[in-house]
Amino acid sequence: MHISSTAPAPFPWERTLFDPPAVFADHREHEPIRPLLYPDGEIGWLVTTHDLVRQVLGDARFTMTKPARVVGETFILPAGGDSVRAAFSDVMAPMRAGTFINMDAPDHTRFRRALGGRFSPKQVGGLADVIEAIVAERLDAMATSPHPFEFVEGFAVPVALRTICHVLGLPVRPEWHEISVLMEVDPPIDVELLGQYSRFLEAMTADVHALRDQPNDGVLSMLLHSGDFTEEEIIGLGQFLVIAGHHTTSNMMSLGALVLQQDRSHWDAVVADPDSLSATIEELVRYITVLQLAPFTRTATEDVAIGGVLVRAGERVQVSALSANRDAAFFSNPDRFEPGRDTAGHVAFGYGIHQCLGQHLARLELRIVFTRLVERFPDLRPAVPVDELVTYPGWYPGHGVQELPVVWGSDAEGENS
């Protein structure tokens, strides 16, 4: 074992539209596990190779119970006063109670067992007609809208949000997406922000209460009437899933469309052969790797030797799924987008017991979206040069573009792509 003498790498990192931070390639080659400086001043570890990422994610000695410090509390809480921070902690209590991704067994197991059947490939496959109808309605609205059309807010977000609300048995409310938008800008904790999070909690609480008297076929109603979960857990689960279930998927829709359009042969291939789309989507998922932080933070519960380094009990380890999915030791030409390549083993949806619960739903949504999108708008193009698109900051849990104006038809002629 050795203790690295390398200066801790600063965190977070900014990535380009499609690619990881360039420094990750150097880390993978020379120091695949290296010291990392978190914004709160704590020194942890950064893991960048595919092999070591899977080792950490599959090792029960690394717990999920501390990652909220990395994204939520570290970036938001220090700016607020004690009274506001205390109130904020109270408002966030239900979400903490229902965010099972931050739990270990047996609590994590209890949630996953209850939810697994509703997110299985067979159960998700039964949602195809619902998603088709949602996509068709948005495409109709898109067809009659003026150019340029804002693809993120006008198509991707509504499709993904309406889908997850259908699965959960919730009405579509503005509060569900407004909270996601707040996460993109790293606002200071103040009375106004507290009010917005309070409204998010109040809306979810009201909807869960309504399910007491008017049950439906949604996931939250099923859990509520099972008697196996507290009301606070179900409210928090609803908050967690409504965010997790729409924001990353909508980001994949927007970024996926952009990737396919960078080399029009990829887009045209989907137009010509929609049956090839499943393999293309899996490569899009690997190539983009939207999730970049929250599910990929661990804390050692005991001293663990990994990659020739001794990680001490209590130290945080940040694994980069994005870097792992661009590791040339596992994927040939990993920085190239190659539809049809063998993507088995990619970690875009995580690895181990915390692997993404909604991955089958996300795949189905993406398949339907891109199939219908290329049918309806085969000449769809970005309305601005891609280097003018603004991405989310590097600390944000999911990668994406804030806006994506698009055109088609005669307006697409001569546009930059």
Return the pLDDT at 5: 58
Of residues 227 and 76, more confidence is placed in 227
Count helices and strands (H / E) in the chain: 19, 11
Q: What is the pLDDT of residue 44?
A: 92
- pTM, rounded to two decimals: 0.91
- Please, which pLDDT band fits residue 193 given cuts at 50, 70 and 90? confident
Helices marked H in 31-156: 50-57, 68, 74-76, 82-98, 107-116, 121-125, 128-143, 151
Which tens digits make up the pLDDT trace of 127-155?
999 999 999 999 999 999 999 999 999 99
At 75, is the pLDDT very low, low, confident or very high (cuts 50, 70, 90)? very low
Which candidate, 351, 321, 325, places its Cα nearest to that of 338?
325
Q: Which residue has the higher pLDDT, 45 or 86?
A: 45
Report the candidate in 292, 302, 80, 110 with the shortest Cα–Cα distance to residue 197: 80
What are residue 37's DSSP bridge partners? 10, 43
Contacts of 210 (CB under 8 A, 6+ apart): none
Residue with tokens 């106004």: 192
Cα diameter, the chain: 64
pLDDT more than 70, % of the chain: 90
What number of other Cβ atoms are within 10 A of residue 174's Cβ? Answer: 10
pLDDT computed for residue 141 by the predictor: 96
Q: In this structure, what is the dihedral angle of CA atoms 115, 120, 122, 123, given to the nearest 10 degrees?
A: 30
User: CB 139: neighbour CB atoms within 10 A?
Assistant: 17
pLDDT category of residue 78 using cuts at 50, 70 and 90 = very low
Summarised one tens digit per residue, pLDDT across range 167-187 is 999 999 988 888 877 665 555
Residue 414 is predicted with a pLDDT of 53
**Number of Cβ atoms within 10 Å of the Cβ of 283:** 21
pLDDT at 67 over 90: no
245 neighbors 164 (Cβ within 8 angstroms): yes
Two tokens at 393? 């900051």
Q: Which residue has the higher pLDDT, 403 or 294?
A: 403
pLDDT bracket for residue 83 (50, 70, 90): confident
**By three-state DSSP, how is residue 388 classified?**
helix
> With contact defined as beta carbons under 8 Å apart, do 360 and 120 qualify?
yes
pLDDT bin (cut points 50, 70, 90) of residue 72 is very low
With b for 16 or more beta-carbon neighbours within 10 A and e for fewer, the 298-322 pattern comes to: bbbeeebebbebebeeebbbbbbbb
Return the pLDDT at 213: 93
Rounded Cα distance, 264 and 378, in Å: 10
Give the C-alpha separation, 343 to 174, whole Å.
Answer: 36
Domains of the chain by start residue, with CATH: 9-412 (1.10.630.10)
